Structure formats: structure tokens, C-alpha cells
């Protein structure tokens, strides 16, 4: 009986020695489970990276609508007043001479907004587009004979340039889409002969078109993109690598 008891005691001792390890393993598994469950509990809905681009396009459209209630003489681009009234470099983009002029540019905002949403253009592209806004009008100083200018089309050409350059930085089909956009934008501006007369009558429009403003917008977009992308690339990370 003593031997049996002794054997029993010996057999029970290893079990007691391994028991804390078993409890420790369970605690470790529970901790791992809690750690694994933690992110799942805090994960929210995915945020659309194109929200900044959509806000930019919507803001441009809204300000164009609001500017219709204000006197255009206080807002439009006038090279002789650029130095003493610098706000015109921004406000001129929201001046539209006719309802058709406004409607055409609102449609442009919608198209570029949809493009940016589908292409997931983010904060970097939005910042470049915002910088291109005043640069477009300031570049008109190269043609001082354009005494008055108003409209969003120049800025829209800048946004198109930003979108094209960003897509060309990507891979696969998006790169080809960006290249096609850039080629189309270049061809459109070239056909408009922007270095010719500053104002041109265009069939179907009840306002004169300023082709040089379109060239300025595309140039401003490319310049703004070149200035912002290297800086923003160091501050942000993008799933597309642009």
C-alpha cells in the first residue's frame, strides 16, 4: 500500500508541475485572441481617398454658383488690377458671363469629380489642383491684352493635367488612361491655337473663349503637380504608389 501510494504521489507530481504551464498557455492563447480581436472591434468603414478631390470639385462648382449673385467687375481678372487686388487671381475662376458658360463649367466639374472618384485621386492631387487655381490666372499676365477674363475652364484644364500625370505614374491600364488623357489634352489645346487671338468665337457658345487660359491652366496643373508630389510622397502613403 505504501508503494502504491508512493507511485501515486510520483505520478501526480509531474501533473501538478505541468499544470501552471498549461494555465500559462491558456492565458497566452486568450491574450493572443484578445489582440487579434482588438483591431476587428475598432475597424470602421473604409474611407474613400478621393473625398478631398470630390470636395474640391464640389467647392469649385458651389463658388461658381454663388459668384453669380455678385458684381463681376469686383471679381473678374483684370491685369491692371492684379497687383493691388490680388484676390482676382482666385475669384476670376468663379465668374461666368452667361448661363451657358456656367453650365458648361459645372458639367466639367462633374466629369472631373467622377473621374477622380473612379481613379481614387487623393489629397496630393487635390492640393496640386488647389495650387493651380491662382497660378492659372496669374499666368494670364503674359497676355496683358486680355483685359477681362472669367471662368473655370482654365482651372479645369489644370485639374485634368493633374489627373493625367497622376495616372501615368501608376501601372497597367491606368497608365494608358493617363497617357491618353495627356495626349487628348495636348491635342485640344494645340487645336485651339492659344498663342493666337486672346478671344475666339466658338460655334454653339454665346460667349468668347480664351484659349490661352486653357494653356495656362494645363501649365499650372503640371507645375503644381511637380511641386507637390515629391513633398506629399514623403508625408503620405498611397496604395497606388503615386
pLDDT at 47 (0 to 100):
74
Per DSSP, which regions of 7-166 are E strands?
A: none
Which residues, in sequence order, are CB contacts of 122 under 8 Å at separation 6+?
A: 49, 50, 52, 53, 236, 238
CA dist., res. 185 & res. 157, Å (int): 8
pLDDT at 49 (0 to 100):
84
Q: Which residues pair with 149 in a beta bridge?
A: 77
CB-side neighbour CA atoms (13 Å) of 50:
16
CA dist., res. 140 & res. 44, Å (int): 46
Q: pLDDT tens digits for the chain (242 residues)?
A: 444 433 333 344 444 444 444 444 444 444 444 444 444 444 556 677 889 999 999 999 999 999 999 999 999 999 999 999 999 999 999 999 999 999 999 999 999 999 999 999 999 999 999 999 999 999 999 999 999 999 999 999 999 999 999 999 999 999 999 999 999 999 999 999 999 999 999 888 999 999 999 999 999 999 999 999 766 666 655 455 44
What is the CATH code for 49-87+96-232? Answer: 1.20.1540
pLDDT at 204 (0 to 100):
87
Per residue, the 3-state secondary structure of 83-101, as one string, reads: CCCCCHHHHHHHCCCCHHH
Query: First and final CA of the chain: distance in angstroms?
Result: 81
CA dist., res. 222 & res. 202, Å (int): 26
pLDDT at 37 (0 to 100):
44
DSSP 209: B
CB distance 199 to 145 below 8 Å:
no
Amino acid at each position: 500500500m505504501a508503494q502504491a501510494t508512493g507511485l501515486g504521489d510520483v505520478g501526480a507530481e509531474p501533473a501538478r508541475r505541468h499544470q501552471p504551464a498549461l494555465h500559462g498557455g491558456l492565458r497566452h492563447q486568450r491574450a493572443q485572441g484578445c489582440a487579434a480581436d482588438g483591431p476587428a472591434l475598432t475597424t470602421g468603414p473604409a474611407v474613400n481617398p478621393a473625398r478631398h478631390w470630390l470636395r474640391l470639385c464640389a467647392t469649385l462648382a458651389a463658388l461658381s454658383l454663388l459668384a453669380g449673385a455678385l458684381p463681376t467687375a469686383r471679381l473678374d481678372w483684370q491685369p491692371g488690377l492684379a497687383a493691388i487686388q490680388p484676390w482676382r487671381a482666385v475669384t476670376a475662376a468663379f465668374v461666368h458671363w452667361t448661363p451657358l458658360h456656367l453650365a458648361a463649367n459645372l458639367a466639367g466639374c462633374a466629369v472631373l469629380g467622377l473621374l477622380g472618384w473612379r481613379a481614387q485621386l487623393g489629397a496630393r492631387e487635390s492640393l496640386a489642383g488647389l495650387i493651380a487655381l491662382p497660378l492659372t490666372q496669374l499666368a494670364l499676365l503674359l497676355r496683358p491684352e486680355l483685359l477681362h477674363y472669367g471662368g473655370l475652364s482654365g482651372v479645369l484644364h489644370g485639374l485634368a493635367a493633374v489627373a493625367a500625370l497622376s495616372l501615368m505614374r501608376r501601372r497597367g491600364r491606368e497608365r494608358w488612361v493617363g497617357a491618353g488623357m495627356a495626349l487628348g489634352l495636348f491635342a485640344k489645346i494645340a487645336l485651339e491655337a492659344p498663342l493666337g487671338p486672346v478671344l475666339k468665337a466658338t460655334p454653339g457658345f454665346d460667349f468668347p473663349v480664351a484659349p490661352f487660359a486653357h494653356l495656362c491652366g494645363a501649365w499650372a496643373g503640371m507645375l503644381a503637380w511637380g511641386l507637390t508630389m515629391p513633398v506629399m510622397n514623403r508625408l503620405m502613403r498611397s496604395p497606388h504608389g503615386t
